[in-house]
A and B are shown apart, each in its own frame.
Chain A
Amino acid sequence: MRLARMGSFHPTRLSFLRQLLRRLEAEDWRFERRAWEIDATGVGHALYCVHGPERSYTLVAFAHDLPDEMRSDRVIATAWDATFTLFDGVPEAADIERLRQNVPLQEAGRVSARELSLSRANRSFRLFDHVVERLAEGRQPEPEALKTGYLMRTTAVYGSGKFGAADRDLIAGRAELSSPFQAEMLSVWLIRAFTIDIVEHLAEVRGGEQAARLDPEMRRGLGVGNSTGLGMAPYLVNHPVLINNWMLAREEALARVRAQPVAGTSEIAGFRAALAAAAANAAFWDSAHPLQVAKLAELRADLATLQGWAAEEAVFAADHPWDALWHRAEALSLEGQEALVAAMLEPHGELVDGLGQCMGADEGVFFRIDGAMRVGAVKTILAERYDWAMDVDYAAPEQSARFWYVSEEKLEPRLGERHDEEGAELEQPLAIGRDAKALSAALSDWPEEETVAAFLLAEPDHRHMVRRAQIAAHHPFAEIQNNLISAEMLPIDLLRCKLSFFGASRFDPRSDRWVRICLYQDAPYPGDLLSPV
C-alpha cells in the first residue's frame, strides 16, 4: 500500500455515499422538507427530514448573510454562508432554538448527543451569484459556468463526538449508520438539496414571478464542493484497523471480479457504460495543479485505451476476462489502473456490495498490547511487515524533512519543515517508518525469548510502535508503506485516498497539501430518490 497508488484512487460502488444511497432506496426511506423559514435576505433556517423503517434524521440548516470579505474556506474562519447539523430524529422548536445558539458558531459552540454532525458551507461566489441572477431573469445559467460543479462547498463536516455531538459508540449499532461516515454522508446529501433550494429562493426573491427553477439536467450535474486540508491526513495513520478494512474490502471486491471465469452480457454493458461515464467525468475534471494536470492527461489517455479494449469482443471471450484485463492494464498509469478498478466493480453489485458491511472497525478491540509475546516474534513482524521502512536513512535531511504537529492556533494537524522551523520536539507519532526502524534497532540487543512486557518496561518510548506492529501482524493493510516525513511525501495522496472512499470525484489539488473535491455530482436528490412522506 503505497502513497502513489492511494493518491490515484477513484470512487467505487463501495464508497460510503454510494452505500448510503443504496440503503435509503432499498429500504424505501421517505423524504420531506419540513420547514423553510428563510427570509428575503436569505437568513433563517430549514429542516430536511428522512424517515427510515426505525428512525428519522433531520438536517437543520441555518442560512446566513455573509459579507463577501468574510468568506474563507480556511479552518480558521469564524463565519460562513450556511451552517448545519444532523439531528437524531425530528427536532422540536426548543431544539431548533438551542441549535440556533450554537450551530452557527461551529467550533465555538456546543452541540449535544442528539446531534450527529456539525458542518458549514460557503457559496461558490461566482457560480452562486451567476445562477441567482440568471434564474431571477427567468433564464438558465451558462452551461460553461456550471463547470465549477457545485453551488456551495463545505469546509468541514465534523462527526463522531466532535464538539459534544453523539459519540460513534452511540450510533454504530444502528444498521443505517454502521458503515463508516454514514451520518456525515447523509448530512452532505441533504446539504446538496439545500444549496439548490437557497439559490432558487434568492432568485425568486429577486425575480418574483418571472424567476425560473433550475433545469433538472443542470441540477443533477451539481454536487457539493469540499475543501480539505491537512486536518484529514493523519486520520488514516491513526486508524490502522479501519484503513485495513477499507482496503481489504476493495481488494476482496477486485479479487472476486477477477475470479469470474466469464463475463456476462449485462456486466460487459455495465463496464462499458462505467468507462464512458469515467471518460466524460475526466473530460470535465479540471485542475490547474501541475501534478494533477499531468495525472489527468494520463487518465484521459488511459481511459481512451481502456474504452478501445472494451470495444473488442475478443477481450470478453477469453478465459477469466476481467483478470486478463487487469493484467493488461499493468502497462497503464496508476490513474488508469485505478479507474479500471472502479469500472470493473461497477457492474458487479451482487458480487461486491455486501463487502460494504465489512468496512467499519472497532480499533479498541486491537488496542491491548500482548505483553507475553516474545521479542523474537516482534522482530519477525518488523521483518515481514515493515521491510519498506528499513532501508530508509532517516538521518538524511531529505528523509526527515518534515514533522507533523498540532497547531496551537486551531488545534489542527499541520506539517512543518524540521530543519527550518521550530517545534519538531512536539512531533505527532506519524513517522511510522522511522519509528519501526528505531524499534528494530532497540530490539536488536534483546534476546529472542525475552517478553514484550520486559522490553516495554525498560523502553516505554517504543510502546506506540509495538502496538502498531502487533496490529499490523494481523492487518496486512494497516500501514501506508512510505516515509511520511520525507521531503517527497505528498499529503494530497492521503487526502485523495480517504476522499475516494467517501465517494468524492473531481480531485483538484490546490497545493501539495489541500484539495477541492465534489460529492454527489450526478447523483439523485432526496426528492428524486425517495418518496414523499
Chain B
Amino acid sequence: MDPTIQSPIPPGQGAQLTASLSEIEAMGRKAARGAGYSWGLAEEAGRTTRWLSAHGLAGVSCLASVLEQVAEDFDAHRPELRAGIWQADRAVCPIQFGAIMSDRAVAIGKGAVVRAAPMPSSILLLPPLCWSAQALACGFSVTKGERRLLALPSGPVIEPLLQDHGLPQDMVEIRAYSSSAEGLQPLAQGEKVDASVWEFLAELASRTYVPATEASRSGAGAGATDND
C-alpha cells in the first residue's frame, strides 16, 4: 500500500506539537501581521517569539495571549506617552512597546526611567531589551508585580523581587541595571505547543493569505502535467 495515496491520519495533530524555532518565528510574524501590525513590527513579533521559545520561556503562548487582545482592536493597544507614563486605551501592547524601548535604549541606558501601564505579558519586553543590552553593552531591568526581569548582555535573568517597589500591580518600570550575572542561554530546541494555541495563531496568519486563482496557479509552477 502506498501511504501517499492512503493518507493515514496526519501525525502531529494531537493535543500538542513541537514547533521548530523557524516555524515559530514564521508563525509569529504572520500571525502578528494578520492581527494588524506593520511588517516591521510583525518581524519583531516573530523574532521575539522565537527568542523566548529558544530560551525555554514559552514564547508561543505569550504571543498568542497578546494577539488575542490586540487583534480585536489594534489601535486601542497602541502605546502613547500620557502624563509621563506610556498608556493605551486598553492594555499596552508589549510588542509595540518593546520596539519603542529598543529604539530608546540609549536614553534608558543613560538614566531615563520608563513606566507603562497596564502592561500584560511583560516578558515579551525581554528579547528587544536583551538585543539592546548586547548592542550597547549595558543592562536593563523590567520590574512588574512580584518579579524582576533582567536584560543583560549575557542573556536574560528572571528573579523574584524581595522588596516592595511601590509600583501599581499592572505597571511595568524599565531602567538601566548593571549586573555581572550569567544570563540564560538559548537551547535552539523549539517549543511544545498546544495545538489549539497554534491553530489560533494559524487562523490570524491566514488573514495574510490570498485565495488562489486559476491564473496564479498556472503561473506559479509547472503545468498540469509534468510527465516528460
Point out residues on A near B: beta carbons under 8 Å. 43, 64-66, 68, 70-76, 78-80, 83, 100-102, 104-105, 108-110, 112-113, 122, 124-126, 160-170, 227, 229-231, 364, 367-372, 405-412, 414-417, 421-423, 426, 429, 451-453, 456-457, 460-467, 510-511, 513-514
Question: Known: A108-B10, A230-B221, A414-B216. Contact between A68 and B227, CB under 8 A?
Answer: yes
- Assess whether B2 is in contact with A43, with CB atoms less than 8 Å apart: yes
Decide if B54 touches A169 in the complex (CB within 8 Å): yes
Are A422 and B210 in contact, with the CB atoms below 8 A? yes
> Which residue of B10, B102, B106, B215 is within 8 Å of A109 (Cβ)?
B10
CB distance from B61 to the nearest CB of A (A): 18
Partner of A368, one of B10, B19, B128: B128
The residue that B209 contacts in the complex, of A161, A411, A463, with Cβ under 8 A, is: A411
Q: Are B17 and A110 in contact, with the CB atoms below 8 A?
A: yes
When the two chains form their complex, are residues B132 and A108 in contact, meaning their CB atoms are under 8 A apart? no
**Roughly how many angstroms separate A125 CA and B225 CA in the complex, as a whole number?**
11
Given contacts A72-B222, A229-B220, A513-B220, contact A423 B210 (CB under 8 A): yes
* Residue B228 interfacial (CB < 8 Å): yes
Which residues in chain B, 189-228, are within 8 Å of chain A measured between CB atoms?
A: 189-190, 206, 208-213, 215-217, 219-228
Q: Report whether A426 and B210 are in contact in the complex, using a CB–CB cutoff of 8 Å.
A: yes
Compute how far the CA of A108 lies from the CA of B94 in the bound complex, rounded to whole angstroms: 34
- Measured CA separation A463–B8 after assembly (Å): 44
Partner among B44, B106, B213, B225 whose Cβ is within 8 Å of the Cβ of A372: B106
Check B210 against A72 for contact (C-beta < 8 Å).
no
Q: A72-B225, A421-B216 are in contact. Are A79 and B5 (CB under 8 A)?
A: yes
Assess whether A464 is in contact with B39, with CB atoms less than 8 Å apart. Answer: yes
A412–B7 alpha-carbon span in the complex (Å)? 22
Roughly how many angstroms separate A421 CA and B220 CA in the complex, as a whole number? 15
Q: Is the CB of A73 within 8 A of B221?
A: yes
Which of chain B's residues have a CB closer than 8 A to the CB of A231? 220
* Residue of A126, A168, A464 touching B228 (CB-CB under 8 A): A126
Task: Name the A residues within 8 Å of B135 (CB-CB).
Answer: 368, 370
B222 touches A83 (CB 8 A): no
Q: Is the CB of A79 within 8 A of B188?
A: no
The contact of B226 among A100, A227, A230, A372, by CB within 8 Å, is A227
Of chain A, the residue at the smallest CB distance from B43 is A464
Q: Given the known inter-chain contacts A43-B2, A65-B2, A460-B96, please indicate yes or no for A371 contacting B103, CB distance below 8 A.
A: yes
Would you call B105 an interface residue if the criterion is a C-beta within 8 Å of the partner chain's C-beta atoms? Answer: yes
Most buried by A among B102, B104, B219, B221: B221
Contacts of A230 in B (CB 8 A): 220-221
A479 to chain B, nearest CB (A): 16
Given the interface pairs A453-B100, A463-B99, the reply to whether A407 lies near B22 with Cβ below 8 Å is no
**New A-B contacts (16) at CB < 8 Å, excluding given A75-B220, A406-B210:** A71-B225, A72-B225, A80-B4, A108-B7, A161-B21, A166-B20, A167-B20, A368-B128, A408-B206, A408-B212, A414-B220, A415-B216, A456-B99, A464-B40, A467-B43, A511-B219
> B28-48 vs A: 1/0 string, CB under 8 Å?
000000000011110110010
Docked-complex contact A66 and B4, CB < 8 angstroms: yes
